[in-house]
Structures are given as structure tokens and as C-alpha cells.
Amino acid sequence: MDTPAKEIVLSGIRATGNLHLGNYYGALRKFVSIQNDYDCNFFIADLHALTTAPDPQSLHANVRNVLAEYLAAGIDPEKATIFIQSDIPEISEMYLLLNMHVGVGELMRTASFKDKARKALGLTAPTSAQDDSDEAFERQIIGAETNKRVNAGLLTYPTLMAVDILIQKATKVPVGKDQLQHLELTRRFARRFNSFYGVDFFPEPTDFDFGGAPVKVPGLDGSGKMGKSEGNCLYLIDDPKVLRKKVMRATTDEGPKEPNSPMSEPVANLFTLLELTSTPEVVKHFRDAYADCSIRYGDLKKQLAEDILAVTTPIRERVNDILADDQYLRRVVRQGAEKARARAAETLREVRQIMGLRGI
Ligand code: TYM
């Protein structure tokens, strides 16, 4: 009897630097945990990295870094397909085709586009709901009298991400909370394509459900998420000294004055990280100490730094050896590209047929 085909999982990380704890808990750790049970495809999004105009040398170095960190964290190339996005030219062609079914307006309303476009134009984030209206934003983009520009690749970022997923016909996409809107758009584009051409061609992908709430790893600078452009990252390859220093410098407050006080955001963020990295007993110990006002944030930070290091040290220790082995790295991505291209080429062939690009 045939064994049923495994469900197709796909996800990627942009080649914009070393991986941080947000990438790890939002994505990488999940990748490793499911590679035995699914048809897993994990890639390095170098085309997406181009949307923020990196210099060629650092882009190339970062592709290698992300690849080495994937492998060091335990993604096994014999189990999962690992590839570089730009090694699959079919993605770029399908990006052009899918863009014909994507609206400029819906792309401009995407939260991550608004955020990145503001940054590119040097605009500050809006302070009131009114300033954040779509019309105000569109006026800013179109009318920006500046020599800075928002490149069209940033606008069509969600199309490219949808193509990554749809070209492999993936149905499960493990990502952090910040990517859920892009996934929602992917589903919308898939439905739109299917209904426009009257076909049942693209499956609608969903977030990989791990049972808990979607992961958002906070920064330790008080508010918001951990992210490269926020400059608040704890990196997997941070030296223990550096990492301890970063954690010890985390923003806190003056401490609870009354039993069972509500938590300020910076302290709640510390607890979020503690919950991700420490044992339930450790978390309970500090929660109880917060509740009865005996907590010393310095103790919590020391514990947190050691528990983070317990997670990152084995990865950090493997990365350099892997980076030194060019042949191995090349073999991994060559093998991965072969597999990923085969499926991408098949999907693209059918898409061209469906859309009427059939030659004579
Ligand atoms: P990137 O590089 O921005 O993020 C890679 C992954 O890390 C997760 N992540 C976080 N999760 C929780 N807390 C954080 N602070 C945090 N910071 C980052 C992101 O949610 C993501 O899962 N657009 C994608 C790359 C991509 C992709 C795809 C993903 C391109 N095509 C197709 C899935 C499927 C991205 O955000 O990369």
C-alpha cells in the first residue's frame, strides 16, 4: 500500500544578517521540530533581502550566515530541502505573473509595507489613529518631496512571498506573528487566482499550528519586537560575554510596590523571554517573587542570560566549523535547489498554461 504523501511545509528567513532569538523562536526552532514528519522546504530569502538595498558583499555573506545557522541549529539536509531563493529562477517569473492579480491598494495597506516605507522615507511612525489612515499614508508616499524613494520591490514583497509558498504548493507555513498578515494575503491571492481562472489549482496555506499563541519575541529595550532594524537583537552567535551584557542592560522599572501589581511592558517582556527559555519552575519562582514584591531584577536577568546561553551555545559552537566547509555548504544548496526547482518548474508550467501563455 502507498504511504500517503507528507504535507508540504515551506518557510524562509531573509538574508539580512545573523539570526536572532526572534528568528529562532518564531521560525528556526519550529523548522527543526517538524523536519521528520513533513515534506519540509526551508530557504534563504535573498531576493526579499534586496528590498532593503544591501550591498552585494554583505548580502552574499549573509546568505552563507543564514545557511550555516540553519545547519548549526539542526536542520538536516537529508530530511529537509534547503535552498537559496534566487537559485530558483521560476520564482521570479511567477512573481511577474502573480502580480497581474494583485492590487496596488491592498499592498499599500500592508502593515509591514507601511512600516518599511516610512523608514525608507525617514518618516516617523504616526502618533494618532488619524495619521495612520490609508489616505494620509498614500499622500506621504506619492507626494514625498525627497530624494529618497520607496522601491516597488518593497511594495510587492507580499507577492514574492506568496509565490515562494504557492510555487511549492505548500499548505503549512511556520512563521512568527509578524508574518501572519502576509500569509493572509497569500491565501487571498490563491483564492483569487483559482476563481479568476475557474480552477482548483493552488491550495490555501495556513500558519503551522503548534498549539500555542503565535510567537512574538520582544526586544529588551522596553517595547516592541526583537528585530534587526530595531537594533535590539540577541543573536544566536553572540559571545557569552556580549550576551550577558545585553541582558543585564535590559530596561526594567522600579519594581512592584504592592503585592500583585500589574506589570510594566519592559518587565512583561523579560518574563516573555524567560517563558521561552527557562523551565516552568524558574518562571514560577520569579512570578511569585514579583507577586510578593521580593523580586530582584538583577537575579532574573542573570538567570535569563544563562538560560538563553544554554540554548545558543551549542549552535554558536557549530557555526564556525560549518562556515569553514565551503564544499559542504555548496553541496547542500545544490541538492536543495535541484529538488525545489523540479517542483517550481512543474507549477510554473501549469500556471503558464492556465493563464494562456501557451505559445503558438
Ligand atoms: P524575516 O527574515 O523577517 O523573519 C524570519 C522569521 O523570523 C520570524 N521573526 C520573529 N518571530 C517572533 N518574534 C520576533 N521578534 C521575530 N522576528 C522575526 C518571522 O516571523 C519569520 O518567520 N517574509 C519572511 C521571509 C519569507 C517567507 C517566505 C517566510 C519570504 N518568503 C515564505 C515564509 C514563507 C520574513 O519575515 O523573514
268-286 pLDDT, tens per residue? 999 999 999 999 999 999 9
Give the helix ranges, DSSP H, for the chain. Answer: 21-23, 29-34, 46-49, 56-73, 89-99, 104-108, 111-121, 134-143, 152-155, 157-167, 180-197, 240-248, 265-277, 280-291, 297-324, 326-355
Q: Which atom of ligand 1 is nearest to the CA of 225?
A: 15
The x, y and z cell numbers of residue 203, run together, are 491550495
pLDDT at position 1: 58
214 contacts 176 by C-beta, under 8 angstroms: yes
- Tell me the percentage of the chain whose pLDDT exceeds 90: 84
Of residues 127 and 121, which shows the higher confidence score? 121
Residue 245 bears catalytic tag = no
CA 1 to ligand 1 centroid distance, Å: 38
Q: Which of 311, 232, 318 is nearest to 24 (CA)?
A: 311
Which residue in the block uniquely carries the three cell numbers 501589581?
Answer: 261
Q: Which ligand 1 atom sits closest to the C-alpha of 16?
A: 2
14 backbone dihedrals φ, ψ, rounded to 5°: -70, 145
- pLDDT value, residue 318: 98
Q: Please state the atom number of ligand 1 nearest to the C-alpha of residue 23.
A: 7
Residue type for position 180: L
Mutate to test the pocket of ligand 1, among 11, 161, 175, 210 (most ligand atoms within 8 A of CB): 175
| Rounded alpha-carbon distances, angstroms, from residue 75 to 39, 60, 117 | 13, 21, 33
Compute φ and ψ for 153, nearest 5 degrees: -65, -30
Residues with CB under 6 A from ligand 1: 10-14, 22-23, 25-27, 45, 48, 161, 164-165, 173, 175-176, 178-179, 182, 215-217, 225-227
Q: Inform me whether the pLDDT recorded for 47 exceeds 90.
A: yes
The domain spans of the chain are 8-102+156-215+326-355, 240-321
Dist. CA 139 → ligand 1 center (Å) = 29
Three-state secondary structure call for residue 45 = strand
Average pLDDT over residues 204-219: 94
Sheet holding 172-173: strands in order across?
81-84, 39-45, 8-14, 172-173, 206-207
Q: Which CATH architecture has domain 240-321?
A: Orthogonal Bundle (1.10)
How does 76-109 read in b/e, with b if 16+ C-beta sit within 10 Å?
Answer: ebeebbbbbbbbbebbebbbebbbebbeeeebbe
Residue 109 · residue 134 · CB < 8 Å: yes
| Per-residue confidence (pLDDT) for residue 136, from 0 to 100 | 77
Give the CATH fold of the 8-102+156-215+326-355 domain: Rossmann fold (3.40.50)
What's this model's pTM, rounded to 2 decimal places?
0.95
The Cα–Cα gap between 60 and 292 comes to 51
Active site annotation includes 339: no
Q: Which residue's alpha carbon is nearest to atom 19 within ligand 1? A: 176
Question: How remote is the CA of residue 11 from the centroid of ligand 1, in Å?
Answer: 8
Respond yes or no: is residue 172 known to be catalytic. Answer: no
Residues forming beta bridges with residue 83, ordered by sequence position:
43
Task: Please tell me which residue in 116, 172, 246, 301 is annotated as part of the active site.
Answer: 116
Tens-digit pLDDT profile for residues 99-118: 999 999 999 999 999 988 88
Banded pLDDT at 12 (limits 50, 70, 90): very high
Q: How confident is the model at residue 139 (pLDDT cuts 50, 70, 90)?
A: confident
199 grid coordinates: 480552477
Query: Model confidence at 198, in pLDDT bands (50, 70, 90)?
Result: very high
Query: Percent of the chain scored above 70 by pLDDT?
Result: 97
Q: Which residues contact 7 (CB under 8 A, 6 or more apart)?
A: 38, 39, 171, 172
Which of 119, 40, 114, 48 is CA-nearest to residue 80?
A: 40
